[in-house]
Structure 1
Amino acid sequence: MGLFRGVRPLLAAFLRPLSASAPARSLALVYERHGEPARVLQLKDQERAELGHFGVHVKMLAAPVNPADINMIQGTYALLPDLPAVGGNEGVGQVVEIGSHVTSLKPGDWVIPIDAPVGTWRTDAVLSEGSLLKIPRNIPLLCAATLSVNPCTAYRMLADFETLEPGDSIIQNAANSGVGQAVIQIAAALGIKTINVIRDRPNLQELVHRLTSLGADHVVTEEMLRKPEMNDLFKKVPKPRLALNCVGGRSTTDMLRHIQQKGTMVTYGGMAKQPVTVPVSAFIFKDVKLHGFWMTQWKKNQTQNKDRLTGMILNLCDLIHKGQLTAPVCTEVPLKDYQIALEASMRPFTSSKQILVM
């Protein structure tokens, strides 16, 4: 009996996993404190939340590394999640399983997160039905993964601040950014001319060719904004009614010199980390209007009007179907090699968006 008394606990421990299902797991890029992403992010094996009645089990397919994601990890963004947190706020996933009370989604659907912070840099997640938006499955994966931030930002800035007509023009800096590339394509589809400002760089002509191939009408460097040759440009295209600013500092001031009377400038980023300086003459003699735009806040304002958000996404998907809107230049990186993606995303003159592929 003594022999069997010692064996029984071992036997019970061996059989226990067979009678109770093991908790579902997920690989995720987690940070427990703020700091430089390469130092604070860790790829961890996590227990996945239970599905419950209202949950949606999503298998993430691909998720980009955006500047806002980096700033959030650094602790410098306007919206910060509770720690520990999973990185990433944009991406596309496929529904695997739904809770018994979920009505708007079904297994196999492609979904994108509506709002930040959500934590898309992981293989699987259980999210609420209300935090997800269904999108068509017949668009390219990279278009889907990069749909909810940059193209939406471009779409709203072109639609909400000036009533633009075919033949009108706009000017934008950081034209090679994800938003800038989307602005070029959406504007071209609407018949709006674009003047696109970029920083000088070693591969300048290669970048000019790429932006022109997207539909850019004119590409100029920041230095060219200050030269008399700009007067010749405005013999071919009307002065812009709308300026889109993602840089700040001198680049912004120089763009304002070329804006039309009673024109509008919208600031949605500050890559130069310098303040927006506006000449007094722009206010007094041109009566320009200055606005800020934050896509996250716009989405929060639509909580009672989800149809407006859905309509915008479907319009963008229609442009994708027509070949008028493509994903930005992307580099796909396996999740396990996330350090490579982080390093590349923070490198100067980077024009390729890093996409973590799950």
Structure 2
Amino acid sequence: MASAQDIQTLLRFLSQDAKVPLAQAMSKIKDLQGAKLITPSEIAKAEFEKLKTVFDDDKVARQVLNAAKRVSKKRPSGEVSSALPPPLPKKAKPSYGEPLDPATFEASLALPEAERDEDNLKQVVVYTNRAPLVLAFAVTLLKYTMPEQPLSSRLSLAQAVCSANSQSKAKYIGLQTAKTAEEEGWGEGQPLVSVMGRQIRVMKRWGYTWREEAENSPASSQGTILGDSQEDVKAELLPEEPALWGVDLEALKKSNGPVTIGERKASANDLPIYRPERTRAYMLKAFDSKTTSGDKPSTGKKKAMEVKGQNLGMLLASLDLLCQSWAHVLSKDDLDKRAWGWYVNVRPEVKSGAAGWGGKGNVALADILQLRRPAS
């Protein structure tokens, strides 16, 4: 199986050297893996008909083949793109911006946890706007609807949902009139998944292995969602599905805009995806405590951040209790469909129309817990 570094190098070759549009390049990674065409050298030696089968286009296939032959002449077989130096022993290039150790990366994204004392949770009211609440709902929901996904993927997918919802809302209230990248077809060819009833475009993270696997151990296929020890979902046998990124279609549109690939200033590492680090950072500072005036608490910055982190932990604990109560009686699809309705029931009240854009309000955790399935 190709490593994450191999896939990164292949994607860089396709987009930079062969000048294949990034969206098309990403969609062909799996096919090239299946054809055992991972390096420019392997592609240069391949039969043209084989490449035609992969790219479904004579012109693109010829373009890729010629680029591979040209690149292979410039450097020895197996050497990485000339745009990058050979990886150093102690400071190897990260995969798609991630550390080479996926377990460390996932652990670095850990979200705050809180005691599941229902009496205490029912007393908590957080002060926030709607976008971070959507994120909290989606991140928690995905533990149950896509338990095979690591925390980094759940954060990325949650941001994709939040951004798509914000775009729809902006158009509905008249703040945005231009077509979105999705409406213009920039997501064409990328797989779709449903999160909170909304279809979002994703990119498969081939070669990204984050679970610790014990050889010849059946239990190893179950895995653990790293960085989220709060009663991790135990799947009987998780399918061998790759981790996913939520694709940032607006960024994809900009990267393939009127500027040609050869003239781009952005690094090839800047893939058009929603970065989980940014989503986590946003969530950590998004949940104030309830205030009577609606102003932020007057505590020091460090203490305020601690309080916000605690509030996020308690919110996630309440949402987890909600999903947990329904998970054993609803299918994953039904659970996904129900989630948006739950969100609408508890989201903060804001002014209607453009006046309420970004507005904040109170969210009582007792209202979230009230949505749980009644005990039988």
Using the size of structure 2 for normalisation, the TM-score is 0.25
**Structure 1 or 2: more helix by fraction:** 2
**Structure 1 or 2: more strand by fraction:** 1
Higher alpha-carbon Rg: 1
Higher relative contact order (CA 8 A, sep 6+): 2
Using the size of structure 1 for normalisation, the TM-score is 0.25
